[in-house]
A and B are shown apart, each in its own frame.
With several copies, the nearest count.
Chain A
Amino acid sequence: MDTAVFRAWIGSAAAVIEANRDHLTQLDAAIGDADHGINLARGFAAVTAALDGADGADGTAGSRPATPGAVLTLTGSTLISTVGGASGPLYGVAFRRAGKALGAAATVDLPLLGEALEAALAGVQQLGAAREGDKTMVDALAPATRAFGKAIGDGAATADALSALAEAAAAGAAATISMQARKGRASYLGPRSVGHEDPGAASTALILTALRDVVAR
């Protein structure tokens, strides 16, 4: 997977987030403050502009990132600068850590991608202190990362490993429906948070599914 694939992934993720803007916001309305889709759509719009080499909001001249790692690092920094809320720093750190893990590699193989996912998960957990079962994006990212690692260990092909990733993320997001939130805004609902899908877990599944779909194309 080369820089073009990573650019295509982020572009596709941006489109999927935009298409699911209202859906994610509605999920957040049920157990949060009704802004998750709006926040991420704003952030990914800025990411798209940044990856196209648009000039920064602060007037710095833009340049198109040249490696997969640079694509993800720029994605993360831009999300941090534009999303706000809980998901901004969390997704920002996730993409930045993943980008750093990819280093200067021009192409990324499955094991390297696995390391990047591990790094992203570690970053999210270090920052947000959520564990699995707390009903957060971790409940999509953690099982997805595990399933991806297992698929690689089992010698799966790229497409199959990415399918495992996407399916585990989606299953993880779906599993948050029956969880009671212990982190983030939804935790204030206590038992009333049960019965609703976590918006951050849902967006994580969308973003990881976008990766599978881009590579499968």
Chain B
Amino acid sequence: MKKLINAPDTVVTDALAGVAAAHPSLVVDVENKVILRAGGPRPGKVGLVSGGGSGHEPLHGGFVGYGMLDAACPGEVFTSPVPDQVLLATRAVSAGAGVLQVVKNYTGDVLNFQMAAELAGDEGIEVASVIVNDDVAVEDSLYTAGRRGVGATVLVEKIAGALAEEDADLTAVAAVAREVNDRSRSFGVALTSCTTPAAGKPTFELGGSEIELGIGIHGEPGRHRGPMRSARELAAVALDAIAADIPLDGELLVMVNGMGGTPLLELYVMYNEVASCIRARGGRIARNLVGNYITSLEMQGFSVTVCGLTDTLTRLWDAPVDTPALRWGR
């Protein structure tokens, strides 16, 4: 394992110290692993807290700032944060209007955020949660852990963050977050595995011309393995999977996301194929993102997220945002 780290157990805190040093717009509690906006919460604004395992950067810490999150709670690599962290963050961003938790649908994340919500509730802080579960690679059923939360998380955080910035109340902010989740679906493909610093060897093994279709963001497998294919074929596979679940017509927001180790050159090749595919199916991409937004360490691969827009969602997407990883209009 070759990684730019000092030691596996200090990777998250060392990185947080780096985030603190790099971004004067953030306040970082390195020891407790909480990232906050500098200047504290604005009274009357709903606070937005998210978090999850580290290794998905820029998610979530890179999305803390004006128009998006108020706090992020990074856990150890690929391990959800503990309730204590989430509680600290919740307290810090509570400004009288309640707090919305954005939680990706993994048992660990859900349970730890739920515990934190109960503890915060005991302290009189009103907490609402939205569970993001957009990954079509996984069957959604009452009897399983359900679909995983992946790319839609970025969209939910941006759009709910924009509405919170307009001083909407907790019910409205939670509702728009759920609406974005409901209207979004994702599908991911891995060309290579990834290695967590603590484990020191690849989470899974892929052959030299083998890929994993329907990959999750922790290297969890999805639908099946298969041979490597062209960008055009992969776009079709991803969009077929998504189209089986939501319509691909109308105005769409499309994200082509890199898994962390994919050259941007290739992501643009993928975006071109995704865009052609969607055009051919009668959709119109009104907004897009191409880049590394929700990653799996050094994994090579991509994911596609599609969200059906409404005028309101488009307006909130376009609203100013000023975070380390997403910035426009300010």
Contacts and interface: CB of A to CB of B under 8 A. Distances in A.
A190 B115 CA distance: 28
Contact of B107 (A39, A42, A183): A183
A81 B84 contact: yes
A38 B83 contact: no
A83 interface: yes
B66 interface: no
Interface residues of B, number: 38
A90 B111 CA distance: 8
Interface in B183-235: 196, 198-199, 201, 203-204, 216, 218-222
B65 interface: no
A82 interface: yes
Interface residues of A, number: 33
B interface secondary structure, majority = loop
A interface secondary structure, majority = helix
Contacts of A184: 107, 145
B75 A86 contact: no
A199 interface: no
Contacts of A127: 111
Nearest to B195: A34
A33 to B, nearest CB: 4
Contact of B203 (A33, A38, A80, A187): A33
Nearest to A36: B79
Contact of A89 (B106, B115, B201): B115
Contact of B216 (A34, A81, A188): A188
A79 to B, nearest CB: 9
A88 B81 CA distance: 10
B115 A34 contact: no
Contacts of B77: 35
Contacts of A192: 221
B145 A80 contact: no
A184 B83 CA distance: 18
A189 B203 CA distance: 14
Contact of B199 (A25, A58, A128): A25
A82 B218 contact: no
A34 B83 contact: no
Interface in B38-66: 53
Contact of A33 (B78, B112, B222): B78
Interface string A28-52: 0100111100110010000000000
Contact of B82 (A58, A84, A182, A187): A84
A64 interface: no
A35 B107 contact: no
Given A184-B145, A187-B144, A82 B199 contact: no
Contact of A88 (B108, B143, B203): B108
A29 B203 CA distance: 5
Nearest to B146: A187
Contact of B111 (A42, A57, A89, A189): A89
Contacts of B83: 80-81, 89
Contact of A85 (B80, B114, B115, B221): B80
Contact of A86 (B107, B148, B204, B220): B107
A36 to B, nearest CB: 10
A128 to B, nearest CB: 7
Contacts of A183: 107, 144-145
A185 B80 contact: no
B138 interface: yes
A100 to B, nearest CB: 16
A191 to B, nearest CB: 10
A188 B188 CA distance: 13
B196 A35 contact: yes
B199 A34 contact: yes
Interface of A: 25, 29, 32-35, 38-39, 42, 57-58, 80-90, 127-128, 182-185, 187-190, 192
5 contacts: A33-B196, A38-B198, A86-B80, A86-B108, A128-B111
Listed from nearest, the 8 A-B pairs whose CB atoms lie closest are A89-B111, A86-B107, A85-B108, A86-B108, A33-B218, A84-B79, A34-B199, A38-B198
Given A29-B203, A38-B79, A190-B139, 16 more contacts: A25-B199, A29-B199, A34-B199, A38-B199, A58-B84, A80-B84, A84-B108, A85-B75, A86-B80, A86-B107, A87-B108, A89-B108, A90-B111, A188-B137, A188-B138, A188-B145
